[in-house]
Amino acid sequence: MRGWMGKFRSLFLFGALTLILSGCGVDNLSALKPKGYGAELLLDLMIISIAIMIFVFVIVMAIYAFVLIRYKQKKGQENLIPKQTEGNKALEVIWTVIPIILLLVLAVPTVQATFDLADTSGQDDENAITIDVIGNQYWWHFNYAGQEIATSQELYIPTGERVYLNMKSSDVIHSFWLPSIAGKMDTNPGENINSMYLEAYEEGVYWGHCAELCGPSHSLMDFRVIAVSPDEFDQWVEDMKNVDPEATPETASAQEGQELFNNNCMSCHAIGGSSAGVGPNLTNFGNREKIAGIMDPSKENLVDWITNPDEIKPGNQMPANIVSKEEASKIADYLLQLKHSDVGTDVPTRNTDE
Ligand code: HEC
Ligand SMILES: [Cu+2]
* Position 142 pLDDT exceeds 80: yes
Q: What is the β-pairing status of strands 139-144 and 149-152?
A: antiparallel
* Position 178 pLDDT exceeds 60: yes
Q: Where is average pLDDT lowest: 65-79, 94-108, 117-131, 223-237? A: 65-79
Confidence of residue 5 (pLDDT cuts 50, 70, 90): low
Domain 252-336, architecture per CATH: Sandwich (2.60)
* Position 86 pLDDT exceeds 50: yes
Question: What Rg value do the Cα atoms of the chain yield, rounded?
Answer: 28
> pLDDT, tens digit, for every residue of 146-167?
888 999 999 999 999 999 999 9
Q: Which residues are CB-neighbours of 239 under 8 A, at least 6 positions away?
A: 340, 341, 343
Beta strands in 170-295 (DSSP E): 174-177, 184-187, 194-198, 204-210, 222-228
CA-nearest of 180, 158, 203, 156 to 347 is 203
Report the percent of the chain where pLDDT is more than 90. 76
Asked if 160 contacts 227 with a C-beta cutoff of 8 angstroms, the reply is no
Confidence of residue 24 (pLDDT cuts 50, 70, 90): low
Angle between helix 299-307 and 325-336 (nearest 10): 130
Q: Of the residues 268, 283, 317, which should be mutated to test ligand 1's pocket, given the most ligand atoms within 8 Å of the CB? A: 268
- Average pLDDT value for residue range 78-91: 86
DSSP 3-state assignment of 33? coil
Q: Which residues are CB-neighbours of 158 under 8 A, at least 6 positions away?
A: 129, 227, 228, 229, 230, 232, 233, 234
More confident of the two residues 48 and 77: 48
> pLDDT, tens digit, for every residue of 109-130?
999 999 999 999 999 998 899 9
- Average pLDDT value for residue range 185-206: 94
Kindly report the pTM of this predicted structure. 0.87
More confident of the two residues 78 and 241: 241
* Cα–Cα distance for residue pair 6/255, rounded to 1 Å: 68
| Residue of minimum CA distance from atom 38 in ligand 1 | 265
The DSSP line for 77-126 is -TTPPPPP----HHHHHHHHHHHHHHHHHHHHHHHHHHHHHH--GGGGST
Asked if 39 contacts 183 with a C-beta cutoff of 8 angstroms, the reply is yes
Quick one: pLDDT at residue 345? 87
* Cα–Cα distance for residue pair 207/29, rounded to 1 Å: 5
Asked if 280 contacts 269 with a C-beta cutoff of 8 angstroms, the reply is yes
List helix spans (H) across the chain: 4-7, 9-22, 37-70, 89-118, 230-241, 252-264, 299-307, 309-312, 325-336
Q: What is the β-pairing status of strands 194-198 and 139-144?
A: unpaired
* Domain boundaries, given as residue ranges, for the chain: 252-336
Report the percent of the chain where pLDDT is more than 70. 95
Is there an atom of ligand 1 within 6 Å of 261 CB? yes
* Cα–Cα distance for residue pair 172/270, rounded to 1 Å: 23
Quick one: pLDDT at residue 351? 45
* Cα–Cα distance for residue pair 183/188, rounded to 1 Å: 17
Considering every ligand atom shown, identify the ligand nearest to the alpha carbon of residue 315 and give its number. Answer: 1
Question: What's phi and psi for 156, nearest 5 deg?
Answer: -95, 130
Quick one: pLDDT at residue 352? 42
- Average pLDDT value for residue range 30-41: 92
Confidence of residue 90 (pLDDT cuts 50, 70, 90): very high
Confidence of residue 22 (pLDDT cuts 50, 70, 90): low
Atom of ligand 1 nearest to the CA of 293: 27
Is there an atom of ligand 1 within 6 Å of 182 CB? no
Quick one: pLDDT at residue 58? 97
What does pLDDT average to over the chain? 90
Atom of ligand 1 nearest to the CA of 331: 35
* Position 2 pLDDT exceeds 70: no
Is there an atom of ligand 1 within 6 Å of 247 CB? no
The DSSP line for 311-331 is HHSTT-SSPS-SS-HHHHHHH
Quick one: pLDDT at residue 14? 81
Atom of ligand 1 nearest to the CA of 281: 26
> pLDDT, tens digit, for every residue of 244-283?
988 999 999 999 999 999 999 999 999 988 776 789 999 9
Considering every ligand atom shown, identify the ligand nearest to the alpha carbon of residue 224 and give its number. Answer: 1
Quick one: pLDDT at residue 146? 82
